[in-house]
Amino acid sequence: MTDQQKSILNLFSLEGKTVIVTGGTGGLGAAMSIALAQAGANIVSLQLPDDPLGKTFQEEIEKLHRQFSVFECNLTDPGSIREVFASMWAAGIVPDILLNCAGTNRRGKIEDISDEDINLVLDVNLKAAYIMSQEFGKQLLTLSRPGKIIHVSSMASYIAQTNVSIYAISKAGVRHMTKALSNEWAGKGIQCNCICPG
């Protein structure tokens, strides 16, 4: 690591902060999580029990000498999400940042997208992000703590391309949800931002 990189990490230090991450085993999510850990953050990963990349992800974070915790979670099941957050609070995890990076896509013509695909994409990309934000925000408000929520949307939320209609709809919802959360919580110390790669 160069001196310049060290200087930047010191400037944006997250030493002692705890980041709850979804989608951390994926390409973008893993890169973001590793960068957060390099800046000093401890990582709490919400992932499926059979995630084939889970072990590799854990090893990458632990190589940086950061605390790493895993909670198994099915993002298509609201009950599972709420139970996981209750388990985190019961384990004494004090949250600082929520990074909603999990996402899925189903390609196809509008007339061919099945109900199953509609539900899956909306459940993972939008509904889960809302419920996690809700649970995270409630805990911060209860503790009178400031915090940050980062949602990962997509340029597809601005530019709807062919064969990704339900994905574009879900990501536009994430972008607008971020505005709604920010409107309600900014004055209470919870900062909500959305990034749109693409």
| CA-to-CA separations, 23 to 28, 35, 76, 79, 188, in angstroms, rounded | 8, 14, 13, 18, 27
Catalytic position from the list 167, 170, 174, 194 = 167
> Is 158 a residue of the active site?
no
Residues 6 or more apart whose Cβ sits within 8 Å of residue 96: 14, 17, 18, 19, 41, 145, 147, 148
Cα–Cα distance measured from residue 59 to residue 189, given in angstroms and rounded to the nearest whole number:
33
Q: Which amino acid is at 52?
A: P
DSSP 197: -
Cα–Cα distance measured from residue 7 to residue 40, given in angstroms and rounded to the nearest whole number:
13
Catalytic residue numbers, as ranges = 167
